[in-house]
Amino acid sequence: MIDAVLVMNTQGKPRLAKFYKSLSPVKQQEIVRKVYTGLSSRAEHFCNFVEADEIFGAGTKLVYKHFATLYFVFVIDSGESELGILDLIQVFVETLDSIFKNVCELDIVFNFNKVNTVLDEIVMGGQVVETNSTEIVKSVQEIFK
């Protein structure tokens, strides 16, 4: 299961934070901070997985990808495939790219409502709902028509 999806910039400012487990706002913020600390020290050529037992409980991992000024982070438990999630991040970013035509951080900042909608079309209740970028774009456009 996907426990949370976070997008933050390289300074640690959250750009999107979606949790699929009930957590208090305080705890959510603490997690965002810890995730950032965990990621910011990692070099570019390191692997894309970080064990997150201390942040999110035993057996959880962060699967992340670094694009320009942004980190895309999925917090997952042992029920998900790490590489599969990495693919999913790619799908997420490609979808944003086709919606915003060359997506950049500012797009995500100013359209965080749309980004939320896109995520809802990809992940729902911690499960992958759709992996087909074309399909996702179609349903988002339907919502924002």
Partner 1 sequence: MALSGMRGLSVFISDVRNCQNKELERARVDKELANIRTKFKNDKGLTPYEKKKYVWKMLYIFMLGYDVDFGHMEAVSLISAPKYAEKQVGYIVTSSLLNENHDFLRLVINTVRNDIIGRNETFQCLALTMVGNIGGKEFSESLAPDVQKLLISNSCRPLVRKKAALCLLRLYRKNPDVVSVDGWADRMSQLLDEREIGVLTAVMSLLVALVANNPDAYWNCVSKCVRVLERLTRSQDIPQEYTYYGIPSPWLQVKTMRVLQYFPAIDDPNIRRSLFEVLQRVLMGTDAVKNINKNNATHAVLFEALALVMHLDAEKDMMAQCVGLLGKFIAVREPNIRYLGLENMTRMLMVSDVQESIKRHQVQIITSLRDPDISIRRRSLDLLYGMCDVTNAKDIVEELLQYLTTADFAIREELALKAAILAEKFAPDLSWYVDVILQLIEKAGDFVSDDIWYRVVQFVTNNDDLQPYAAAKARDFLDKPAVHETMVKVAGYLLGEYSHLLSRRPGCSPKEVFSIIHDKFATVSTPTKAILLSAYIKILLHSQTVDPELQNHVLAVFRKNETYLDAEVQQRASEYYALSRKGPSMVDVMAEMPKFPERQSALLKKAEDTEVDVADTSATKLRLMQLTSTAVVVADQKPANGVHPALTRVPSGQRNIEAPTVPVANGGQSPAPVDFLAIEAAPTHSAPESSPLVGPGDSLALALMDNQASTVQVSSRSGSMRSAEKTAAFFMKILSFRQADYYFPCYNVLLQIGLKAEWRGNQGRIVLFLGNKHTAPLLSVKAVILPPRHMQLLTSNVPDTIPPRAQVQCPVEVTNLSPSREIPVLDFSYNNSSAMVSFKLRLPVIMSKFLQGATLAPADYIARWKALMGPPNKLLQEVVRGVKPLPLQEMSDLLGSLHVAIAPGYDPNVNNIVGAATYFSENPTLCLIRIETDPADRTQIRLTVGTPDTSVALELKEYIKERLVDIPSGAAPTSLPGMPSPADDLVGPAASLAGLI
Query: Which residues here bind partner 1, judged by CB under 8 A?
Result: 13-18, 20, 22-23, 25, 29, 32, 42-43, 45-51, 53-54, 58-59, 79, 81-84, 86-88, 90-91, 100, 104, 106-107, 109-114, 116-117, 120, 124-125, 127-135, 139, 142-143
Q: How far is the CB of 71 from partner 1 (least distance, A)?
A: 15
Reduce the DSSP state of residue 124 to 3 states and report it: strand
Chain length of the chain:
145
Angle at 91 between CA 6 and CA 70, to 5 degrees: 40
Q: 68 or 142: whose CB is closer to partner 1?
A: 142
Reduce the DSSP state of residue 9 to 3 states and report it: strand
Q: How far is the CB of 25 from partner 1 (least distance, A)?
A: 6
Helix (H) or strand (E) holding 61: strand 61-67
